Amino acid sequence: MIAHPGEPLGPHQLWGAWSWEPGIVLPLGLAAGLYAIGLRALWRAAGPGRGIRKRDAAAFALGWATLALALLSPLHRLGEVLFAAHMVQHELLMALAAPLLVLGRPLVPFVWAVPPGWRRTLGRWTGGDRFRGVWATLTHPVAAWSLHAAAIWIWHVPSLYEATLRSEAVHALQHASFLGTALLFWWSVLEGRRHGRLGWPGAVIALFTTAVHTSILGALLTFSTRPWYPAYGAVSAAWGLTPLEDQQLAGLIMWVPGGLAYLVAALALLASWLAEPEHTPRRLPLGAVSLVLVGTLALAGCGRSGALSFEEAARLTGGGNPARGRLAIRQYGCGACHTVSGVRGADGLVGPPLDGIGGRSYIAGVLTNTPQHMIRWIVDPHGVDSLTAMPATGVGEREARDIASYLYTRR
């Protein structure tokens, strides 16, 4: 990113003030390209809407467009002369673009976009104990909440905030920390591994308390009797605002629409939690998992292999056909993330291997390992645990019965 030459932006220059810094355009283009290539490959293998739902893809597209609007449109240049415009830009990054990108489940298409050899290497690297430990720590709700809160408050210290107006490098660092910590925060709430001591209540509390502390900062800006950032005073007059009015408007933007975004998300999660069927078991504590959490049958505990003959597996699953199940595993693209012996191309390493599941105790750390529970999980993982990273694949009950019967034959 390079400094903008010339005089501060004036009202007559607004609509032509688009920004095309390579440090912004290239990462945006790379993210869009990887997502599109991976989504095409996934849907070609598994069918449209499977693995990544159409609404997931729409969420990513909307999040990407919001990111582009915040960083490339005239809003970016306007933020150099108006604190209120800068605040709008930050709220778009943290409260709108970040959750939409997380809801788009980008890691799945990103994995599909790379060659199989790279995919296996990525799986081995992200599956290492060191990486898994770091990732689990960063995405723990308490850590993610703390990092996001610290970024918001620290960057509003007057000396640091004014440094972003003098240096594009510092400005870029501010935006990177806002977006990066926001992605971690929303991942921990919406998609990340749930910590056994927090679960649904922790997610709701994290959102609610974020709404509270950001609203407090917004109120402090709104009711202050003096400008916090004098650097804006030299240029805001051209836009019809005094420095204090500009700051009050920025505070109101953080306080009301910014805080409301977190509250709405908290209420939505609370409603989903309360709407869960009473018989749905609560999630058990899980250890750290790999970066790409798209596992379908992450099973805790080990025992004997539990492998059955085809006849025994068919009887156990109420008429499942293991031969058809093997074909269904390939059709629905399960092998992109999992290793399943006997299925051509099912050598993914980004999720847990599915062999030997008959001797394990739990399905996804949530359900006891019974054929009906396995079928239920394959058909509707989000009905069991709406925050699981397991994507909805569109598998019907009969196909799920076939898949379960085949998996029970694997050692």
Q: What is the 3-state secondary structure (H, E, C) of 310-338?
A: HHHHHHHCCCCCHHHHHHHHHHCCHHHCC
User: 0.85 exceeded by the pTM?
Assistant: no
Q: What is the CA radius of gyration of the chain?
A: 24
Give the pLDDT confidence score for residue 351 in this predicted structure: 60
Helix, strand or coil for residue 249?
Answer: helix
Taking 70 as the threshold, does the pLDDT of residue 298 lie above it? no
At 279, is the pLDDT very low, low, confident or very high (cuts 50, 70, 90)?
very low
Pair 87, 370: CB distance under 8 Å: no
Taking 70 as the threshold, does the pLDDT of residue 348 lie above it? no
Give the pLDDT confidence score for residue 297 in this predicted structure: 36
Cα–Cα dist 54/49, whole Å: 5
Taking 60 as the threshold, does the pLDDT of residue 300 lie above it? no
Cα–Cα dist 304/411, whole Å: 9
Sign, Cα dihedral of 253, 64, 43, 408:
negative
Taking 70 as the threshold, does the pLDDT of residue 25 lie above it? yes
Give the pLDDT confidence score for residue 2 in this predicted structure: 34
Give the mean pLDDT of 144-166.
94
Higher pLDDT, 23 or 359: 23
At 308, is the pLDDT very low, low, confident or very high (cuts 50, 70, 90)?
confident
Determine the residue type at 321: N
Q: Cite the residue boundaries of each domain of the chain with CATH code 1.10.760.10.
A: 310-407
- HSE at residue 64, side-chain half, CA atoms within 13 A, is 20
pLDDT in tens, 113-137: 888 777 667 766 766 678 778 887 8
Least confident of 78-82, 275-279, 379-383: 275-279
Domain 310-407 has CATH 1.10.760.10: yes
Taking 60 as the threshold, does the pLDDT of residue 327 lie above it? yes
